[in-house]
Amino acid sequence: MTEPEKAPEKRRLFSGIKLVVAVAVVAALASAGVTALLVNIMERKQEAKNPFYRVVELDDTITDPAVWGKNFPLQYDGYKRTVDQKRTRYGGSEAVARTPTQADPRSVVAQSRLEEDPRLVTMWSGYAFATDFREERGHAHMLEDQVFTQRQQVTQQPGTCIHCHGSVYVPYKKLGDGDLIKGFEKMNQMPFAEARKLVEHPVSCIDCHDPTTMQLRVTRPGFIEGIAALKASQGVPGFKVNQDATRQEMRTYVCGQCHVEYYFKGKEKRLTYPWAKGINIEQIMAYYDEDGHADWTHALTGAKVLKAQHPEFEMYNQGIHAKSGVACADCHMPYQREGAMKISDHHVRSPLLNINRACQTCHKWSEAELLNRAETIQTRTFQTRNIAMDALVDLIHDLESAQKAGAPEESLAKARDLQKRAQFYLDFVEAENSMGFHADQEAVRILSNSINFSRLGQNALRPGGGASTAPDQRPAGAPTPGSAGAPQGSK
């Protein structure tokens, strides 16, 4: 065969060799890619089992947040920042300097609400809150502010108060020999000073997280029992919050453990959330009417009255954010980026101090516009609150004068009952820490009812009386909140 005839044969042979090599290279690359993918999947599975670097081993006995912070330094940095004191237009606290004393070593406190609005003293006359009531500070201060409030000096507070002012999960378990509820029951009946000795920290990581899985959990017996009663009223018996709640619900429930209305029931001082009939104010008022509970007897009028606490959970549930599936943590602990990590911001605070991450995730308007919208709601609520406050103070003074003038007991009894309602409705908004923002229409509705109760109370003191004590003045047959045919604010 001549050389020209051999050339094509050589080229075909060389091409075949190149094809074999190319196939081998592609196969090798494919094998490497598949191997890398499998390795990556395995690594991700391992990371899912250990989603953080374990510096220390955590268990169900460690209450010190600094220890948890060794595994979760970014979250712990946020937690420590709750010492901040920054005021919004209608909430938050500002640092007020004071001279420490042996009884109260604090050098900084929040502003006095009683000095800002002396009408509160009249509303709470005869109750400890008329002695000392300050703007709330961040979680870092929640234990010391309860220990050193002047209210401790004018009344004997029970150990029940520790339920929401300290990290109580481990102390409850120790008191109950491993039984959370039994420990809760024992601490409720202790004097506050004795119970305080059992608690080392304010709210801590262990109160909201399982130390092994880091899953959210409810540890406060008051909420465990309260939410079960609420669900039963909605036709869901036997609800177990840590078993039956969704993850998004838990991002509200862990906050609702303490940001609620409550009372101390019976001689045992059992912390109780009045939700057995429902969660809106008419349902709570009906619960108290049936239970017969009163927080104190008003010093100026003799009325058996109620003090609302801080019903953020109840009011939130009547608002548009709850209806839209937004959780407390979405606004007060929004997600943030730290390097390559996405975490919840543990610097718990007003969304108005963090509009970019708290609000603009969903609302595509400028920070200035969103702040203006929020403050417009709050300003209107505050103005209506002031009208309700004036009306209540007028009723209290009229009742005081009527008693001195020897008014008929029937008229006085009607007016006192209406004072109880006007006062509780007003305080339900006053004590709630959003100045109406959580449920703006509901807040103004409640305040309008309070104004009406005060007016009816004044009418009851006129010659002939005639005021109704009914808490709802709708026509017969009209649906009431919580009944069939009415909006279900608690669902």
For the segment 105-139, what is each residue's pLDDT rounded down to a tens digit?
999 999 999 999 999 999 999 999 999 999 999 99
User: Tokens in use for 340?
Assistant: 């390559």
Residue 474 confidence (pLDDT) above 80: no
Q: Nearest to residue 219, comparing CAs of 269, 167, 259? A: 167
For residue 165, the model assigns a pLDDT of 96
Tell me the pLDDT tens digit for each residue of 66-76: 999 999 999 99
Contact 189, 195 (CB under 8 A): no
Long-range contacts of 339-345 (CB under 8 A, 24+ apart): 341/74, 343/74, 343/75, 344/75, 345/78
431 pLDDT band (50/70/90 cuts)? very high
**Where do the structural domains in the chain lie, given as residue ranges?**
65-329, 369-460
The CATH number of the domain covering residues in 369-460: 1.20.140.10
User: Angle at CA 137, nearest 5°, toward 135 and 138?
Assistant: 155
Region of 215 on the Ramachandran plot (φ > 0 left; ψ -120 to 50 alpha; else beta): beta
Task: Give dist(CA 143, CA 134) in Å, integer.
Answer: 14
Q: Is the pLDDT of residue 161 over 90?
A: yes
Token pair belonging to 417: 């009952």
pLDDT tens figures, 229-255:
999 999 999 999 999 999 999 999 999
Is 9 a residue whose pLDDT tops 90? no
The pLDDT of residue 158 is above 60: yes
User: What's the whole-number mean pLDDT along residues 152-177?
Assistant: 95
Q: Does residue 7 have a pLDDT over 70? A: no
pLDDT > 70? residue 31: yes
- The pLDDT score that the predictor gives to residue 490 is 35
Q: What is the DSSP string of 152-175?
A: HHHS--BGGGGGGTS--HHHHHHH
* Site of tokens 């003293």: 121
Nearest Cα to Cα of residue 108 among 133, 67, 137: 137
* pLDDT value of residue 344: 95
pLDDT at 210 over 50: yes
pLDDT over 90, % of the chain: 80
Structure tokens at 301: 């009028």
Instruction: Please tell us whether the domain made up of 65-329 is placed in CATH 3.30.2350.10.
Output: no
pLDDT score, position 41: 76
pLDDT at 19: 73
Has residue 477 got a pLDDT over 50? no
pLDDT of residue 482: 39
- Looking at residue 478, what is its pLDDT? 44
- Extended strands (E) in 166-276: 263-265, 270-272
Residue pLDDT, tens place only, 372-399: 999 999 999 999 999 999 999 999 999 9
In this prediction, residue 20 carries a pLDDT of 74
Q: Looking at the DSSP assignment, which residues form a beta bridge with residue 296? A: 305
pLDDT of amino acid 413 = 97
Angle among Cα 353, 354, 357 to the nearest 5 degrees reads 170
Look at residue 486 in the predicted model and tell me its pLDDT: 38
pLDDT digits (tens, 9 = 90+) for 259-297: 999 999 999 999 999 999 999 999 999 999 999 999 999
- Cα 180 to its chain centre, rounded Å, is 21
Contact by Cβ (8 Å): 75, 343: yes
d(CA 157, CA 129): 12
CA distance 229 to 270: 15
Q: Say if residue 415's pLDDT is above 80.
A: yes
Report pLDDT for 476.
42
* Domain 65-329 matches domain 369-460 at the CATH topology level: no
Rounded mean pLDDT of 40-61?
74
Q: Which of 479, 395, 203 is nearest to 488 (CA)?
A: 479
pLDDT value at 6 more than 80: no
What's the pLDDT score for residue 458? 98
* pLDDT score, position 92: 87
Q: What is the pLDDT of residues 302-349, one digit of tens each?
A: 999 999 999 999 999 999 999 999 999 999 999 999 888 899 999 999
Within 13 A of 193's CA, how many CA atoms are on the CB side?
6
